[in-house]
């Protein structure tokens, strides 16, 4: 019995042997990629609009930002800069959020999509607990007045979330849906985060509400 012979042809070899067919396939791949890209962009726009509608109303902020982020494999994101390992470990101990000097770490409940809204104020807005599963607050110091948010991929770069430049701030974290099943496109996010930032010198961590299971 003759042994079967497997032959592998590279893309370059295929293009050389069948240039017409290769050109057709390449055109189809490009069109498919463009269509997928447009579908993704449309979903991101639709999801961001959904996220904006899902946030309870509050006092008018100086700056605001809403987008869809990914929980990523770390199931968390940060505000500011500093020792990410220490902040992440302390957030794990708390279950939601921790601040270490100039870095705040917030945990998500999913690796999937999350609605994130950030509102910045010049003074502390009234405490609003309705519609949230957990609300907590921490303090951090921004040395440059322009703390980054990461690691998140968003369609538009968020504006600076501190409105008084370098100094001490409070970060009030509101979350709901962290126990929901993971959602990814084209589903709308089931988890929602609202981050409220305002000047404040206290470094004390406070929990105002916690009904998470």
pLDDT tens-digit profile, the chain (213 residues)? 455 555 554 556 555 556 666 566 666 667 766 655 566 677 778 888 999 999 998 999 999 989 888 888 889 999 988 777 899 999 999 999 999 989 999 999 999 999 999 999 999 999 999 999 999 999 999 988 888 787 665 556 677 889 999 999 999 999 999 999 998 878 899 999 999 999 999 999 999 999 997
- Residue 161: asked if its preceding bond is cis (omega within 30°), the reply is no
- pLDDT given for residue 167 in this prediction: 94
The answer to whether 117 and 52 have CB atoms below 8 angstroms apart is yes
At 78, is the secondary structure helix, strand, or coil? strand
- pLDDT given for residue 37 in this prediction: 59
Which token pair is 103? 């870095």
Rounded Cα gap, residues 50 and 116, in angstroms: 11
State which H helix or E strand residue 26 sits in. Answer: helix 19-53
Work out whether strand 103-107 and strand 97-100 pair parallel, antiparallel, or are unpaired: antiparallel
- pLDDT given for residue 10 in this prediction: 56
- pLDDT given for residue 13 in this prediction: 55
Rg over alpha carbons for the chain, rounded to the nearest Å, is 23
- pLDDT given for residue 161 in this prediction: 87
Rounded Cα gap, residues 47 and 79, in angstroms: 23
* pTM, rounded to two decimals: 0.80
């Amino acid at each position: 019995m003759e042994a079967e012979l497997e032959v592998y042809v590279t893309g370059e070899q295929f293009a050389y042997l069948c240039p017409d067919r290769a050109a057709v396939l390449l055109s189809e791949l490009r069109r498919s990629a463009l269509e997928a890209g447009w579908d993704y962009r449309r979903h991101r726009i639709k999801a961001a609009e959904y996220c904006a509608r899902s946030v309870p109303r509050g006092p008018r902020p100086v700056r605001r930002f809403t987008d869809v982020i990914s929980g990523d494999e770390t199931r968390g994101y940060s505000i500011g800069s500093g020792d990410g390992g220490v902040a992440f470990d302390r957030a794990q101990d708390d279950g939601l959020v921790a601040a270490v000097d100039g870095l705040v770490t917030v945990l998500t409940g999913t690796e999937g999509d999350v609605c994130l809204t950030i509102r910045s104020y010049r003074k502390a807005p009234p405490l609003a607990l309705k519609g949230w599963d957990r609300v907590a607050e921490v303090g951090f110091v921004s040395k440059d007045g322009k703390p980054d948010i990461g690691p998140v991929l968003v369609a538009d770069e968020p504006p600076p979330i501190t409105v008084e430049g370098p100094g001490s701030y409070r970060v009030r974290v509101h979350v709901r849906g962290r126990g929901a099943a993971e959602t990814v496109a084209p589903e709308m996010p089931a988890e929602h985060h609202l981050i409220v930032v305002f000047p404040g010198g206290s470094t004390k961590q406070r929990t105002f509400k916690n009904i998470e299971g």
